[in-house]
Amino acid sequence: MTMRRSTSRTWAGRSGQALIFFMIVLVILVFVVLWNYDLNKILFVKSVTQNAGDAAALAAARWQGITLNMVGDLNLMHAMAIRPDGEDADIAGAISNIQARLCYTGPMIAFMAAQQAAKNNGVYQNDDFSRFTLERAQIVRRDYPSAADPDGEPLFPEPYPGCWHEYADMLEFIANEGVAAGPDNARFYTDFTGGHILLMADFYDAIAGRYWCWFYHNAPTLLEDYRNFFPCWWPPLPEPPHREYHNSEIFGLGLTRVVTTLSAFPPDSQSLTNLAGGRGIAVPDTATNFMNTVSTWFVYDPSVWTEWAAMNTGGDDPFPLAGPVKPQYDYAGADAAVRIEATAERITPGPGGSAVRNTITWSAAAKPFGYLNENDRPDSCRLVLPAFHDVALFPVDASSAPSGGSYNLRWREHVEEHLPRYMEEGPSPSGCWYCNQLVTWEDEAFRRAGADWLSSNSWQCVATAGPGRHRGGGTSRGH
């Protein structure tokens, strides 16, 4: 009888151990399933975000190309409308007014098309982007018409009557429809400009990652020259330039107006007449008399439409391309960079059972491509002519997107709100990641470590097309 009871207790104990082991295995399996689900969800959201960003950039660039061709067609119509007796003034004024409006309405259609492309690819509106765009519309409507310099001259002269209110209306409409793709190369008229180190997001990344090669390439003596903040060591932040505003802040075309004769540009009268006829524009009998008449023409801004230096495959910091860009496409100018931010909520709980969200960011850039005579850049004669035929994606690093991106709202908050305060009061720890990097920068030991590393290892700071064999090697170029 005793042995029988002992066997029964032993079996019960083993059964209890098996149950505990089974529960442990079950819990592990549950976490594996949840982790696998979260991983697949993140990968799915990343894929959707990438597709939406690429589609949005291509849609915006396509409308930039369409708008440039329309401005070019209007230049041709203007030329063909010139009359020897000078009775074309009203027509010329109307065409110039339409071109000025196109420089805003075209990019705004591009902005709208980018949102539709992103949403069609499964990305929802970003409430922060929409709110920021609505705030910009209010600034344009409220401040731009009234802002003046000390002499009473307007700071933001309108390119055509009623522009600021029309522009604000378009921004407000897009914001109310919901912004899913932020234009990441926007150039707001009130933005800081210039090559100030504190306005370069890469500077903060280099501090956070101890990426000393950034200093070697961009600020070789900064680690040794800097002493401490007080009194403020940095030069003042640059003021925004005030100029003639021919281009939209968002997806601008890089155009300007000049008053001159067509004889100031390379194309001869026969070439312009042939191009106009090929575009279906009526060519009158008096068309040969338009070359020496002074009028207003829309042309490429030479400070914007330059050689595509960012895609140069030579020099100290070559772009990792298989070969040089073809001469007819070797131009910087109108392009579209967009930012998509999507959130993936994880089922797997975080510390203390808290909910975890992953923010996935994708930036993409595209531009309209074209040529004149199959071999010349579209801006080779400076006069805008219909020359754009296609659009394509290209690396974000070669785009006109500023360091950090214009719709990176956390960076924008730092630049607009935190930096002016930093310039007056110095660094202080806060919830701002960028501000915390400035606190690290004040540590003399940190700067000395970087200077010491570069003194013996700067030879490793070589950009290559691959990952690089040495610390600091490889390329930091974006996709």
Tens of pLDDT, residue by residue, the chain (479 residues): 455 555 556 655 566 677 777 777 777 777 677 667 666 767 777 888 999 999 999 999 999 999 999 999 999 999 888 876 665 678 888 999 999 999 999 999 999 999 999 999 999 999 999 999 999 999 999 999 998 888 888 889 999 999 999 999 999 999 999 999 999 999 899 888 767 999 998 899 999 999 999 999 889 999 999 988 888 899 999 888 777 899 999 999 999 999 999 888 888 888 888 888 888 888 877 655 678 888 899 999 999 999 998 888 877 667 888 888 999 999 999 999 999 998 877 766 666 666 667 788 899 999 999 999 888 999 999 999 999 999 999 999 889 887 667 899 999 999 999 999 999 999 988 889 999 999 999 999 999 999 999 999 988 887 554 443 333 344 455 56
Same domain? 156 vs 227: no
Q: Is residue 248 part of a domain?
A: yes
Same domain? 220 vs 344: no
Range of the domain at 348: 32-191+242-404
Last residue of a domain, one of 373, 404, 435: 404
- Provide the pairing of β-strand 295-300 with 255-260: antiparallel
DSSP character at residue 416: I
Same domain? 134 vs 258: yes
**Phi-psi category of 274—alpha, beta or left, where left has phi over 0 and alpha has psi -120 to 50?**
alpha
Q: Which of 194, 203, 209, 278 is nearest to 239 (CA)?
A: 194
Based on its alpha-carbon atoms, the radius of gyration of the chain, rounded to whole angstroms, reads: 29
Q: d(Cα 427, Cα 381) in Å, to the nearest integer?
A: 50
Contacts of 79 (CB under 8 A, 6+ apart): 262, 272, 276, 287, 290
Q: Is residue 280 part of a domain?
A: yes
Q: Is residue 72 part of a domain?
A: yes
Q: d(Cα 113, Cα 366) in Å, to the nearest integer?
A: 14
| pTM value > 0.75 | yes
- CA–CA distance from 156 to each of 8, 144, 345 (Å)? 93, 6, 44
Give the relative orientation of helices 2-81 and 269-278 as an angle to the nearest 10 degrees. 120
Q: Is residue 266 part of a domain?
A: yes
Same domain? 362 vs 413: no
Q: Is residue 115 part of a domain?
A: yes
Q: Is residue 52 part of a domain?
A: yes
Q: What total of structural domains would you count in the chain?
A: 2
Q: Provide the 3-class DSSP secondary structure of residue 315.
A: coil
Establish how many alpha carbons lie within 13 A of residue 355's alpha carbon, considering only the half-sphere containing its beta carbon: 4
Same domain? 168 vs 283: yes
Q: d(Cα 376, Cα 387) in Å, to the nearest integer?
A: 10
Same domain? 306 vs 361: yes
Same domain? 221 vs 281: no
Contacts of 30 (CB under 8 A, 6+ apart): none
- Both structure tokens of 49: 């975000």
Q: Is residue 24 part of a domain?
A: no
DSSP character at residue 5: H
DSSP character at residue 183: E
Same domain? 180 vs 108: yes
